[in-house]
Homo-oligomer: A and B are copies of this chain.
Amino acid sequence: MSSEKAGAGNGKPPMRDALVAAAFQLFLERGYEQTTVDDIVALAGVGRRSFFRYFPSKEDVVFPDHERCLADMTAFLAAGTGGEEPVRRVCDAARLVLRMYAENPTFSVQRYRLTKKVPGLRAYELSVVWRYERALADYLRRRFAARRDGTLQADVIAAAVVAAHNNALRSWLRSDGQGEASATMDHALAYVQSAFGGTPVPPAREEPEDVVVVVSRRGAPLWRVVQEIESTLGRL
């Protein structure tokens, strides 16, 4: 906390944290829907209007740090030189989210149990996750601009990365934040990388002309070609 005074968007009003603490205390002992915003501000000792100053909605108090994390991810993706392997890059970006969860394990586990129970919070979490996915997909779309089905591949790969990330994250959260999360995450993301071109470990830059294909008859459907390719690769 050395340089904490640059510009208007300063980071940490104590009131925000007090509201989060009061909210979670009530959510855990009484349930989310049974807690009104008036209850929260009464416990925190602040005015009701101030709550909506810091959180645009009651749901936002449950995810107080995702806004910053999303900004971090966007910055990470924009900071690249453009020479990185795209799939690996978005996998590394996804790891930022895991890191944020791992910074406060008990808080993350409490929030996980909360969102698992309350449908409204699950829906809100979806919109948060969607923004992460959009950030990854937008990055991949830019990187894949020259490809033929660039936007399709970008959307699919981004969704796959997010799904793998969430799978590993939920497994870690279900174990109450015990165990090593990053190993599970590496394994899950490696699966996605193996499915989509990105070499799991980047040993060499791939030449664009690795592949030579000869097709004997034009009438054959694409799936037949792909099938032949797979069996050919399997025989080699």
Interface, chain A (partner B; CB < 8 A): 122-124, 126-127, 130, 147-149, 151-153, 155-156, 158-160, 162-164, 166-168, 187-188, 190-201, 203, 206, 210-233, 236
Residue in B167, B211, B226 whose beta carbon sits within 8 Å of that of A216 in the complex: B211
Residue in B147, B160, B228 whose beta carbon sits within 8 Å of that of A159 in the complex: B160
A213-B200 in contact given A156-B167, A218-B233 (Cβ < 8 Å): no
Establish whether residues A215 and B217, one from each chain, have CB atoms under 8 Å apart when the complex forms. no
Q: How far is the CB of A43 from chain B (nearest CB, A)?
A: 28
Known: A123-B126, A211-B228, A214-B214. 15 other contacts (CB 8 A): A123-B127, A148-B231, A155-B164, A156-B163, A156-B188, A159-B160, A190-B223, A197-B222, A197-B224, A199-B223, A200-B226, A210-B219, A212-B215, A213-B232, A225-B229
Q: CB-CB < 8 A to A228: which residues of B? A: 211-213
Establish whether residues B211 and A225, one from each chain, have CB atoms under 8 Å apart when the complex forms. yes
Q: How far is the CB of A159 from chain B (nearest CB, A)?
A: 3
CB-nearest residue of chain B to A122: B127
Establish whether residues A227 and B214, one from each chain, have CB atoms under 8 Å apart when the complex forms. no
Please measure, in the bound complex, the distance between the C-alpha atom of A163 and the C-alpha atom of B130, giving whole angstroms. 11
Establish whether residues A166 and B162, one from each chain, have CB atoms under 8 Å apart when the complex forms. no
Which 9 residue pairs across A and B have the least CB separation, nearest first? Answer: A159-B163, A200-B223, A197-B221, A210-B220, A212-B216, A201-B223, A159-B159, A123-B127, A126-B126
**Which of A194, A203, A231 has the largest count of B CB atoms less than 10 A from its CB?**
A194
Q: CB-CB < 8 A to A211: which residues of B? A: 215-217, 220, 224-225, 228
Please measure, in the bound complex, the distance between the C-alpha atom of A190 and the C-alpha atom of B152, giving whole angstroms. 11
Establish whether residues B152 and A156, one from each chain, have CB atoms under 8 Å apart when the complex forms. no
Q: CB-CB < 8 A to A232: which residues of B? A: 213-215
